[in-house]
Structure 1
Amino acid sequence: MARAQAARAKMQRLLSSPTPFSGDDGAADPAVTRALDALDAGSRPRHLLLERLWSALAASRVIVPVEAHALPARTRPAGPTGPGGKAPTHPVHTADASRDAATLAVELPDGHIALPVFTSAGAMLAWRADVRPVPVEPRRAAVVAYEHTDQLWVLDPGTRDLRLPRPAVVALAGGEDWVPSWRSTLIQDELTAQLSGLEGVTAVAFAPGQASELRILLRVDASAGRGAVADTLAACQEVLVNPAWGELIDTVELVPLPA
């Protein structure tokens, strides 16, 4: 009896204790909405607006979707409540909503797997009506994306389908500031050192990408003919497919320029 009373008292304390999101009404954070509206309007260069959006997301909360019974890892014990005197053996949740949400990870057009993350309960409802919204800290959602997906978020799938660059998610998971590759001197210096050492590359420059995160402008010696240029570009690709770049640069476009 004493043990049961202690357990009941502990549960009451847990239920009565405040949570960071106890008053959350499911609406989007105004700063996030403003950043998304600016991105839609194209009022400034896209790469600058992405940085603004990341900062707004990092300072807010996000919503992850959780199914009624998401995980198959555990089952409820038998009891007198189900048909035939046994309790249903459906899966139950973990204590981590973000980890539960990883079971609903979505495949992006390029084949990568991303964690679905929402700015509001309404955006999640537009995606699927059979899941419930759970507000979480952005860093926790980023950690789960890092551990259980291809280190990616897709923001408001079904409406915006906005892919947050992998390095932005990695930085958020680590509690660090995101320094995008298009303005990171460390990344650019290392890329320049590796690419400039290849035969045929005479100069390297960088810019924010249009269809990708980073645009690499390569001055290539064309005096030896198309075959030599093709070999040079293939060697550049070999450098860039190194998995070590994956957490530093999401996507790259090479732009060769004749020397």
Structure 2
Amino acid sequence: MQARLLQYSSWDWMPVMLGLAHLAGVLAVFLAFPWLSWWSFIPLALIYSLSISWNINSVSHNFIHNPYFRNERLNAGFSLILSLTLGFSQAMYHFVHMRHHSGNMDRPDEKGRTLDYLSIYKHGHDGKPENVWRYTFLSYFRDDPAEILRAMAARRPGEARQAKMELAVMIGFYLALAVIDWRFVACMLPFNYLGQCLSSLNGYYEHFGGDPDKPLAWGVSTYDRLYNWTWMNNGYHAEHHYRPKVHWTKMPELHRTIADEQGRAGTRVIRPPHPLGFLDADIAEH
């Protein structure tokens, strides 16, 4: 089965199944919504918010670097499933994330521009990162889908067409849900925004205290076991930026291989998982 369907590893059935389960979970909450009290809905909605950040930084992220299927139609279909689940185009995320790896949290040039759309330095001052809470809660509103689509069309027209299709289907999907029960969509919107903010918070501490000028120190790692087990080794973020095509299951092995070099390069490591990076004991030093 793996030889026919999966491109890299039988372990990729795990993110595939979890990605399908995530969409099924959203639909289950939609079907149950008319009978849910506020006391039951709000905990489910908060789990939904957390699951968005989890998916973006695990299932969706690993899919960008190592597409799960050999067949391109299956990859396109899974990309659409992620788009419906997360509320944005996976193809656009792919493009933005590749720019992130090209810039690696670069600092603004003389015109205030960064190659990396997601750079924590883009809206900072005096060469320093932006305040974490501004970055967390404002990043969502700074995205310009039209600009991203134009850049995609100029460089990757096929991916731009995929993105437009995903956006059209996603908008149609949520409009259909709104026609059936507009209250569900209205109640879920703020929790979707919260999920995107949690992802930005995660991304901030994946790089806060890193060194944009040293490849071995582009990212910030955490080796918290529970986080890495549940977020598919996303904690090995410095390793990932150094070798982004290495499969997620191989990250601990890569770390063991380059640990001495990382130490000499001053690669930053934090104790808590990235979403709780503000709790790190050395936070004031950076």
- TM-score bracket for this pair, using the shorter chain length: under 0.3
TM-score, normalised on structure 1? 0.25
Higher relative contact order (CA closer than 8 Å, sequence separation 6+): 2
Q: Which has the higher helix share?
A: 2
Structure having the higher Rg: 1
TM-score by length of 2: 0.24
